[in-house]
Chain A
């Protein structure tokens, strides 16, 4: 046998022994803590209730509302067209976002807006989803309570307010008409999601083969 072969055998064995000591890696898709921190501090991740109302009224096809409250609360009232992803069902036992939600959250070109009663739970969902490489996620500032204050029961601005506030008030009055049909009482049949949601093509397609 050639001498080179002994050298080759020793080399590959050494490399193999080296491979023995490699630590186990986790292959969960996630962004670095620095990037998560950077995205967290970007104020544009918040949207106002007025913006959301406008998007709903215009029936923006890229809007995707997600109710992060429990399914009971979702059942009694939610925003039109919203889908329910409760916080406690978001993540599965190994620490990734449940695959059944990924199909809804990871859609190219969609604006996903989380909301809850206030904005704390929605923000928690936002942090977890953003860590797992999901993009185009927003939080509705103030949540449903601010929604009720601004859209459902808009306050008339004082006489000396600037014109913009009156314009905003007019918009809110109009939006209120749109959402509650003129009366102030809220019917629970505003609950949406009767529209069957079509699962769209995901951003990443696993490709390959030989």
Chain B
């Protein structure tokens, strides 16, 4: 029989095989951040518009200091100092994925507090908002129109226009002309 010819060869092959698998299992690295929802779920939630907060409501919640909402300003600290939503916390964009930030977000999620992300424009906050949603923070909203429109919200006694300007995507200047 063949195995009798060179029994050592089998042993070597065996040790190599087992070693490779052991080394692989030991050196396996676990990714720090994992996507918890796929693109289909994200798209569905975008289309349902469940993650949007109008500036009027935002102003209301901020004024009454609603404990179920926390405003997160992702602009840099200088802009935050110049003016921000009352009681908003400042987490600048570069710190968004740091352990500390995510721990804070985890805490809010546990306490069932809705996180509202905003920046100057909605587009600036859109990417971070979508990223956090994909990382599994489901109770997170984005401020429609951003801080730009928040500062222009009509007073309580004024009439709210039918198609408010902060629905930036439903404005079409070209078709109006």
Contact = CB atoms under 8 A, between A and B. Distances in A.
Q: Do A and B touch each other in the complex, judged by CB within 8 A?
A: yes
Interface of A: 2, 4, 8, 11, 15, 26, 28, 30, 32-34, 36-37, 40-41, 69, 73, 76-77, 87-88, 90-97, 116-121, 123-124, 127-128, 131-132, 139, 144-145, 147-149, 152, 185-186
A121 B38 contact: no
Given A4-B10, A37-B97, A91-B40, A30 B123 contact: no
A9 B34 CA distance: 37
Contacts of A131: 35, 39, 134
B16 interface: no
Contacts of B85: none
Contacts of A93: 40
Contacts of B38: 26, 28, 94-95
Interface residues of B, number: 41
| Most central of B126, B131, B174, B177 by chain A CB within 10 Å | B174
Nearest to A185: B177
Contacts of A69: 169
Given A33-B33, A88-B43, 19 more contacts: A15-B21, A33-B131, A34-B33, A40-B128, A77-B175, A87-B43, A88-B47, A90-B43, A93-B40, A94-B38, A95-B41, A97-B39, A117-B170, A127-B126, A127-B130, A131-B39, A132-B39, A139-B123, A144-B173
